[in-house]
Structure 1
Amino acid sequence: MCHRGAAPLSSSLFTPYTLRGVTLPNRVWMAPMCQYSAPAEGAATGAPTDWHLQHYGARAVGGPGLILVEATAVVPEGRITPYDLGIWNDTQVEAHRRITSFLDEHGVVPGIQLAHAGRKASTDKEFRGGAPLTRDTLGWQPVAPSALAFDEGQPVPHELTAEEIRGVVDAFVAAARRSVAAGYRVLEVHAAHGYLVHEFLSPLSNHRTDGYGGSFENRARLAVQIADAVRAAVPEETAVFFRVSATDWAEPEGWTADDTVRLAALLKEHGVDLLHVSSGGTLPHARIPAEPGYQVPFAARVRRETGLPTAAVGLITEPEQAEKILAGGEADAVALGRELLLNPYWPRQAARALGAEHPFPPQYGRAERARYRTSRV
């Protein structure tokens, strides 16, 4: 930690980063995390509420460079739960503008994750157990690339037709346009964690025999079509990310790290600006060797072998750990999830620990001065 009068240390974590026309003030980003707190019925279904405004507002005051708003459904049946956010209508757009305006005001780039839950849709809130819902309890029949349930006791999804798949692409395009209208400058397509786009990618969940199944090229077809369509639908300066699961943790039968590198190279050719690298989600009981930074090597490999920028995520909790990831060239940014739920001010505290300039807002200055008062040297 720097003392007063000492020169600040150089920090990779707190240097700006530009993608297309978006300059992010630092490399500490907030990962998307569902709040399950949107109205499930009525005219405001799927629209952000005061909960979302204060939740994202508090993290904005904490100082990340980018906030990626939680998985936001492109169609009603694409919600994980009836209580998820959506952006399939203009009422939702107006509510999202409250969030993007506040983030902009506090120097944070607003981003949104566009999602379709596929066969993992129509469940209860995570903190109520996440059990499947029926039509009598606000539920619906999920859809998927193949009529394969996620787990025992889960509903068998409807297998999408080719025409319905085209409708999914159209829904992502409409959602992307609404997101730009709502003030988001980064759009992230959710292609991870066993949700619809990931379901098409993984041979564990995709047993199709048409042009969307079988070979790697066919299984990647939906992801590429969404990338092309979203890129064409939004302004050139808008950054487009993909979030992927680097592995199903079921090699060699499932989606693998080699597949992810191959997909990354393909997405780069189709206008994607950054890969946000997570893992898992296709299997309900996969053995995942979770430990600090356990997903970072996947992000590092994609970056090294394809040149596509990456964001690393997963059990990144310490400032020195995050700084080492960036300084070592393993990723271009780090995304924090649970750590920012517990501590909204992690970015500013990390800057202090690393000797970087990132002071608290003046309204909180008296607390900062009291806690971090140091002697002159």
Structure 2
Amino acid sequence: MNDNLQFTRLPFSVKTAFYVVAFLVLFVFSIIEAKGLLIPFTYSVLISFILYPMCRFFEKKGLPRMLSILICFLIVVAGLFGLFYFFSTQVVSIVREFEDFRGKLLNLVHQGIEQYNKIVPNSKLDDESLLSQSKKWFSSSGGSFLFGTLNQTSNFFSGLIILPIYVFLLLLYRTGIRKVMLRFVEQEYQLSFSHLLQDIQQVGQKYIGGLIIIIFIIGLLDSIALWIIGVDSPFFFGFLAGCLAVIPYIGTGIGALLPALYALMNHSPAMALYVLIAFWAVQFLEGNFLTPKIIGGEVSLNPLAAILSLVAGGFVWGLSGMILFIPLAAIMKIVCQNYKELEPIAGLMGDEITEGSEITTGNNEPKLPFWKKLFK
């Protein structure tokens, strides 16, 4: 922590509180309205954190900065093209099976209704009516899914055009950007602020880099598990689950549900159960061993802070917010650690709240519950 960084204390008043609340409301409204600009720019900042060490490596070899950045871009594009080529055939085969998959799921609904009517004879469900509603839901959901997919794809490619430009310019002008940002603080605090900027860069790099490693490990373990169980397209479902792991708690559940449902439709309920057990084991390994070792407690958030960041991100920026607000919250935690007045916020976001001891009184005796004091 840098003790040199501190805020100017303001006297509390109703007017001050009103200004603070008004600023927060205006800030939230602004980032919602400007999400078309802020989302790709935030992605580009985090990506530049990852590419920065690679650029530095080529620059130390004597290459110009611009050429180093272009080489990094070529390496990334080659890797993405290889992944796209590897998974494209599996995606096409799964899309072709959608109609057959829908029919099997409707048949499963029909069997479930029959079993329910046998178990509860006094409560007869209308089989034809429910099946008709299910068919309408599948038709509408399939159309909306297709429209949503096309919409998301168009947004992705429009963002894909501007995002590399942001990344390129951030890496190219990083030295000048740093110098200009130092001018926002007074001379006596510039060294501490420079250390803070370096900490933010290292935190973003460590978090995103560690997350990429975890995605690869989860995808590989899930793929091997699905291959052993006998599920079709194991590497597609495995690495899809790994990519969805960037959304804490919700993403892992969706990543396990998709192959389990696929196994239920094409194989048996027992195989679907095996898939859920295997994915739970991988998730247990990731949460208790991989993430603490790879990312570390200094950067990671406690479950409460992660869920709050997840919900806030979804409210503000949708799916992108659910992905971006986790690393942004980790960066915010490091910023709070560098300001003495904000240290409690960093403690609330970290592992400190999970390691708290019993509250003690002034004489170091455990604080008794209220009902025990009455009968003492």
TM-score range, shorter chain: under 0.3
Bigger radius of gyration? 2
TM-score (norm 1): 0.25
| TM-score normalised by L of structure 2 | 0.25
Which has more strand, going by share of residues? Answer: 1
Q: Could you say which structure has the higher helix fraction?
A: 2
